[in-house]
Structure 1
């Protein structure tokens, strides 16, 4: 029986929904006894909206779970308890349905972190205003690595404000304007850059 990541992802999303969570990413690595299934989860949109409301409520007590200066939208809102409960339920389903053939594997569940990767078009819309690192498939102005503030995502084009961060290396020489537009189809990798 071959490993079917689409079936595993669909199962993870079903279990996550029952915990008010979303699956951000899922990866399977390793071989033999060193195989690991990693699942990155976050609170669903409704739960994240509740976090944002709580953080901005006037007169609300200071919430020690929200780091000072970090935009609430960049936080996944996931706690250790969320990861533990999801891992227990998801692990049981994986084993009962025998979705991972072979005897041994490790299930790792965590938050995507402050420097999370951006995968879907919705991620670019959600994180507009945040600092990002982008690596392109094809060079733009002789450079494939860009950092800046994500100012706009329209028509599957990512717009970065390059003045928001000091450019280094080839990017410093490649900057000919304050902004750069990168077609989403040319984005090989993109992730947030934590700012405090």
Structure 2
């Protein structure tokens, strides 16, 4: 569940982005003594460094105008990467049929990590994955992380 700051930033960024870009995720996190505002944006899988720099300038200017975060933080604009995390319903729809890696908070029969083909997110908010020719259902709230698998 997104924090109030993350939701506020998401709404602001959605107002700024043109149709060629997709807002993937917003994270406001503390790492050590520093706070980071990370905004993940995609452009049809072809996000470039120039895109990140351009959007960083635009979003930074808007953040300075609106000033929604009182404390100091580092702004990072990034592509979600090849191993993008799946969080939202649209992520599960878009990536259906692709190979994923899934890690659970609590092990099932001693196993916490699974890899297989994403079948989607069902109406019970369960992530369905085909693992070794078996369809497995994982309640989304019990999944620590699910991301696209990188095959070499």
Which TM-score band (shorter chain)?
A: 0.7 to 0.9
Q: Which residue of 2 aligns with 1:7?
A: 8
1:159 shift after superposition: 2.4
Equivalent positions of 1:163-174 (< 5 A) are 163=132
TM-score, normalised on structure 1?
Answer: 0.65
Q: Which has the higher strand share?
A: 2
Structure 1 segments (4+ residues) deviating >4 Å: none
Question: Paired residue for 2:104?
Answer: 136
Q: 2:70 corresponds to which residue? A: 101
TM-score, normalization: structure 2?
A: 0.81
Structure 1 pair 152/98, CA: closer, same or farther in 2 (3 Å)? closer
Structure having the higher helix fraction is: 1
- SS in structure 2 of the partner of residue 94 of structure 1: helix
| Structure exhibiting the larger radius of gyration computed from Cα positions | 1
- Relative contact order: is structure 1 or structure 2 higher (C-alpha 8 Å, sep ≥ 6)? 1
Which segment is superposed worse, 181-190 or 110-119?
A: 181-190
Q: Is the 8 A contact 1:40 1:110 kept in 2?
A: yes
Go from structure 1 to structure 2 and tell me whether the alpha carbon gap of 1:152 and 1:119 turns closer, same or farther (over 3 Å shift).
closer
1:154 counterpart (118, 122, 130)? 122
User: Is there any run of 5+ residues in structure 2 with no aligned partner, and where?
Assistant: none
Whether 1:195 aligns to 2:118 is no
Superposition pairs of residues 81-120 of structure 1, within 5 angstroms: 81-102=50-71, 104-120=72-88
CA RMSD of aligned residues (A): 2.5
1:25–1:39 contact (8 Å) kept in structure 2:
yes
